[in-house]
Amino acid sequence: MMLIFCLSAVLFYGYGIYAAIAFLRSPAAVHPDFHPPVTILKPLCGVEAQTYENLASFCQQHYPQYQIVFSVRDRTDPSIEVVQKLMGEFPEIEMNLVVSDQLIGANLKVSNLANAVTTAKHDILVIADSDIRVGTDYLQRIIQPFQTENIGVVTCLYRSAATGIAAILEAIGTATDFQPSVLVSQQLEGVKFAFGSTIAIRKAALEKIGGFAAIADYLADDFQLGYLPAQIGYKVVISDYIVEHILAHSSLLDSINRQIRWARCIRVSRPGGYLGLIFTFGTVASLIFFITNGASIFAWSILGITWMMRWLMGWVVGVILLKDQVTKRYFWLMPLWDLVHFTIWCYGFVGKKIEWRGQQFQLISGGKLVWEEHQYEE
C-alpha cells in the first residue's frame, strides 16, 4: 500500500512540474491602452509591523484612474491612523475611509467588504488582504484578462516573506506544496477558486452571485468569490503576476493553529479533495515504506526517487516560478514541512471548532461559520 502512495505522489510531483512549466510558458500580453477604472477594497483590522508599507504599495500604482476604499469596524482601530497618513502622503490618489460595525454574517472581513463596496465607484473591484505588497505595475498587469468579456474573476499566486522558524515553514509550505496543487488543479479542471492575495472581480459578477451577503458566513470567503462566479458561467483565471505576502512573525503554536483552522475548513468544504491529499504525501509514504522494508536496495531506490521528485517540484515552483527567496534559502527544510503538514492533515479530520481573530466558531457543512454560542446539531 505504501508503494502505491509513493508512486501516486511521484506522479503528482511530475505533473506539478509540468503544470509550472506550462504556466511559465504562457505569460499574458500587456496592452497599455487597456486600463478601465478600478476600485480597490481594503478591509482592515488592526496593524502589523509592515502594514503601512503594504498599503502604500497600492497607492503607488502606475495606473491612470483608480480608487481605494479602506474599511474598518471600530473607530478606535489603529489602522485608521495609518490610512490617514496615507491620505496625507498620497493626495493625488482618491481614497475613502468607511467606518461601520454593521454585520451581515459571521465572517467579519466580509461584513467589512460589504460596508466598503457601497462607496465603490467603478465596475471592476480589486480585493487584497492587508498583508499583501505589490509593485507599481500590479494593477496594469492583473486587469489585462478582463479584455475578454466572460472572464469574471482574476486571482494571483503569491510568495511569502517570512522570519522565524514558524513563518519560514509556512512560507515553504505555501510555495512548494499549496501552490503546486493550485497549478495542477488549473491544468486538470480549470480555476474555480480565488485567493485573498488578490481577487479582481467584475461588480456585475459579484451582484449576480448575491453580493457579499452570499459569502458572509463562509470562512473561505476568497475561495467562494472564485467558486460562485464559476458556477454561473464566468471564467476565473490566474494572473501571471506574483504578489508578495508579508508573513508576520508568529509562534509555532499560532502557526499550527492557523494551519489546523484551514485544514478543517477544507475538510468540511471539500471532503473528497481533502481525503485525496493522502496520495500526495510522498515524503511520509516513502519513509514508512523504507522503514517497513528493512532499508533494502529497493526501499532506498523508492525513497530516493520520491524525495528527488519532491525536491524538484518544490524548486521549479517555489524558486523558478515564484522566485521565492525563503524557499531558495531554506530549501532543506521541505521534508520537515511535509511531516508537519501530514500531522496537521491527520488532526484536521477531527473537530469543527476554530478560533479566528479572537472569536470562537464552529465550522458546519460547506465551510460555513457559526458563533460558538449559536452552534446547533447538524
**Which distant-in-sequence residues (6+ apart) come within 8 Å of 23 by Cβ?**
183, 186, 238, 240, 321
More confident residue, 355 or 138: 138
Q: Last residue of a domain, which of 193, 224, 250?
A: 250
Q: pTM for the full model?
A: 0.92
Q: Is residue 378 part of a domain?
A: no
Q: Are residues 37 and 183 in the same domain?
A: yes
Going by pLDDT thresholds of 50, 70 and 90, the confidence category of residue 361 is confident
Determine, yes or no, domain membership for 263: yes
Q: Is residue 122 part of a domain?
A: yes
> Does residue 367 form part of some domain?
no
For residue 74, the domain's CATH number is 3.90.550.10
The predicted model gives 266-272 an average pLDDT of: 81
pLDDT band per the 50, 70, 90 thresholds, residue 323: very high
Are both 195 and 110 inside the same structural domain?
yes
pLDDT at 176: 96
Of 250, 280, 295, which residue is a domain's last?
A: 250
Instruction: Kindly give, in sequence order, each residue whose CB lies less than 8 Å from that of residue 276, ignoring residues fewer than 6 positions away.
Output: none
Same domain, 246 and 259: no
- Let me know whether 16 and 136 are in one domain: no
| pLDDT number for residue 328 | 95
Neighbours of 31 (CB within 10 A): 11
Q: Is 198's pLDDT higher than 50? A: yes
Least confident among 163-167, 274-278, 363-367: 363-367
pLDDT band per the 50, 70, 90 thresholds, residue 377:
very low
Residues 323 and 178 in one domain: no
Those residues with Cβ within 8 angstroms of residue 34's Cβ, 6 or more apart along the chain or in another chain: 143, 144, 146, 147
Does 348 or 176 have the greater pLDDT score? Answer: 176
Q: Give pLDDT, residue 362.
A: 79
pLDDT at 260 over 80: yes
Look up the domain containing 220 and give its range.
23-250
Which has more confidence, 284 or 358? 284
- Among the candidates 227, 250, 273, a domain finishes at 250
Structural domain contains residue 184: yes
Q: Indicate the number of domains in the chain.
A: 2
- Does 139 share its domain with 265? no
* Distance in angstroms (rounded) separating the CA atoms of residues 181 and 179: 5
**pLDDT surpassing 50 at residue 378:** no
Q: Using one digit for the tens of pLDDT, what is the confidence trace for 49-74?
A: 799 999 999 999 999 999 999 999 99
297/162 same-domain check: no
Q: Which three cell numbers stand for residue 39?
A: 476600485
Residue % of the chain over a pLDDT of 90: 74
